[in-house]
Chains A and B, each alone.
Chain A
Amino acid sequence: ELKVEQNPLFLSMQEGKNYTIYCNYSTTSDRLYWYRQDPGKSLESLFVLLSNGAVKQEGRLMASLDTKARLSTLHITAAVHDLSATYFCAVDINKGAQKLVFGQGTRLTINP
C-alpha cells in the first residue's frame, strides 16, 4: 500500500523567511502533484511534476521531484502572509488511471 508522508504537518513561520516542506512516498511513481487548500475552500493545483529531476517555480514557491529518492520538496522563499494555507502533495500510483493518494497536508501559517 502506498504511503505518502509530508513533513512537517504544521509550520508557523515569519514573513520573509525561507522554508521547505517535504513529501516522501513509498512506491515507484514519476508523477507528483502539489495542491493548496484555503480553509473551507477547494484545492488549487500548484505544480505538476512528471519526471525525475523536474523543477517548477511560481512566484515564491518552487517544487522539485527526485523519483529515485521518492522525495518531492516545496520550497517557500521570503514567505508572505498570503501563502498561509494547507499544502498537499499527491502521488499517482496508477499511471494513466489517475488514482491519486494524498499526503496528510502541511498547515502553513505565516505571521507578519
Chain B
Amino acid sequence: DTEVTQTPKHLVMGMTNKKSLKCEQHMGHRAMYWYKQKAKKPPELMFVYSYEKLSINESVPSRFSPECPNSSLLNLHLHALQPEDSALYLCASSQDVGGANTGELFFGEGSRLTVL
C-alpha cells in the first residue's frame, strides 16, 4: 500500500465549480509534487514544494492553485477548469530535493478528475 494518500479518488466537476484535491504523507518527506497524467501518456510535472515553499511551477494555468499547509499536506485548488483538464492527478513525495537525496518519488494512487 502506498504511504501517500490522495482524496478524493474520483471527482466530477463543472466548469464553474471550485473543488480541491488533497494529499497527505507520513514518511517525514520534505518535498511534495503534483503531476498530471492524461490517458496513455506519461506524467507531467506541475508543481514542486520543498520545505513547504513552492520551488517549481511548470507554467501551470492559474485555475490550478497549489497549497502546502505543512510538510505532510499538499492541496490542489481547482477553479474554472476546462474539459481538457480532465486527467489523473498524482501527488508524490520525496525525502528532500537536495543533491544528496536519491530523488526517489513515492506516488499516491491519484485523483481522477472529470470536468464537464
Binding site for B on A (CB under 8 A): 31, 33, 35, 41-45, 48, 50, 88, 92, 95-105
Contacts and interface: CB of A to CB of B under 8 A. Distances in A.
Interface stretch (B60-68, B70-78, B94-102): B94-102
Interface of B: 2, 31, 33, 40-45, 48, 55-56, 90, 92, 94, 97-99, 101-110
A102 B42 contact: yes
A29 to B, nearest CB: 11
15 contacts: A33-B103, A33-B104, A41-B109, A41-B110, A42-B110, A43-B43, A45-B107, A50-B102, A50-B103, A95-B99, A96-B103, A97-B55, A97-B56, A98-B101, A100-B103
A44 B45 CA distance: 16
A78 B66 CA distance: 44
Given A88-B42, A103-B42, A105-B42, A96 B97 contact: yes
A104 B107 CA distance: 18
B105 A45 contact: yes
Nearest to A32: B103
Majority secondary structure, B binding face: loop
A76 to B, nearest CB: 20
Contact of A100 (B98, B105, B109): B105
A110 B109 CA distance: 24
B105 A42 contact: no
Interface centre among A88, A102, A104 (most CB of B within 10 A): A102
Contacts of A102: 42-44
A69 B7 CA distance: 41
Contacts of B55: 97
Given A99-B48, A102-B43, 9 more contacts: A31-B103, A42-B108, A43-B92, A48-B104, A96-B98, A97-B48, A97-B56, A100-B103, A102-B44
A50 B104 CA distance: 10
